[in-house]
Amino acid sequence: MEIERILDEIDMLKPVSPMASKAMAMLYNPDSTMREIVDVIKYDQSMTANLLKICNSSFFGPIQRISSVRQAVAYMGTEKVASLIVMGHSASNFAAAQSGYDLEEGELWRYSVSSALIAQDIAEKKHIKNTPHLFTSALLKDIGKVVLNAHVKDALGRIITHVQDDGLSFIEAEKKVVGIDHAELGAKIAERWNFSPEMRDIIRYHHDPKSAGTDDVSVDVVYLADTICMMIGIGVGSDGLAYRYYQDIVDRLRITENDFQNIIVDFRVKLTSVEELIDLSGGNN
């Protein structure tokens, strides 16, 4: 079956390393001590180098140069360090052009990092707590596109026809033609990589938060971050303008028109440092 062949292709991805997975688990565990976390990270030279490089970027703007894992954890906090470790291990999967989605080399990575940063900003502005999985989920939400790219490329004409003639969203048409959509496939990848159920749900429902059946607003936040990215022209490929907009999800988050403007303005102000962050993380693999 076509779907079985697609699922077999998951193995071509570079998974999060065992050491990074261990570090993430500890960082997301409130009972872990800073010493335990530092001891796991500091013995992985690549992880340490990537982490320090990103922490010292202009986006985070440390007052003085961060030169050790202990300093990084103390300055950034455990949740951000966990997010940066995943970012440092993920770029290679997203770097190539995704011609099926009309995204040039590096565009999917730029889109993924931007979406994760905007999701984090929304959570901070709306005082949404207890969401350590939010950044990572937003960062990896489109991992299914990497595997599905070739299949979508071959079927793009039929997918676009369903969007234009039948009023389907891109993801609905994608599933109708290919048999599985990139969000569902992304959730299966997250399951294979032993990500938490919360992270799998965010990835699966990031285009359709109303179907999530959960009170976790993280799904809504990542959906909104994705929407804002497309509004400002980031990640707008062959599918970018063919998704549904849910005003009730925006209302649920109590996002006002002023909030929208502030999120977009803040991101644009930081754009130069964001691009540096994307370049640094993208060059780590």
Give per-residue pLDDT as tens, 85-94: 888 888 889 9
C-alpha to C-alpha distance for 51 and 60, rounded to whole angstroms: 12
C-alpha to C-alpha distance for 177 and 264, rounded to whole angstroms: 34
**114, amino acid identity:** S
Q: What is the pLDDT of residue 283?
A: 52
Q: What is the pLDDT of residue 284?
A: 47
CB distance 37 to 26 below 8 Å: yes
User: In sequence order, what are the residues at sequence separation of 6 or more whose Cβ sits closer than 8 angstroms to the Cβ of residue 67?
Assistant: 52
**Exposed (0-12), middle (13-18) or buried (19+): which is 236, by Cβ within 10 Å?**
middle
C-alpha to C-alpha distance for 16 and 279, rounded to whole angstroms: 20
Residue 196 region by backbone torsions, left for phi larger than 0, else alpha for psi between -120 and 50, else beta? beta
Q: Which residues of the chain have pLDDT under 50?
A: 1, 284-285
C-alpha to C-alpha distance for 158 and 139, rounded to whole angstroms: 29
CB atoms within 10 A of CB 163: 21
CB distance 219 to 239 below 8 Å: no
Total residues belonging to the chain: 285
**278, amino acid identity:** I
Residue 29 region by backbone torsions, left for phi larger than 0, else alpha for psi between -120 and 50, else beta? beta
CB atoms within 10 A of CB 247: 8
User: In sequence order, what are the residues at sequence separation of 6 or more whose Cβ sits closer than 8 angstroms to the Cβ of residue 137?
Assistant: 198, 199, 202, 203, 206, 218, 222
C-alpha to C-alpha distance for 82 and 273, rounded to whole angstroms: 20
C-alpha to C-alpha distance for 151 and 156, rounded to whole angstroms: 8
Supply the pTM of this predicted model: 0.89
User: In sequence order, what are the residues at sequence separation of 6 or more whose Cβ sits closer than 8 angstroms to the Cβ of residue 91?
Assistant: 109, 281, 282, 283, 284, 285
Radius of gyration of the chain (CA): 18
Local structure of residue 119 (DSSP, 8 states): H
C-alpha to C-alpha distance for 250 and 254, rounded to whole angstroms: 6
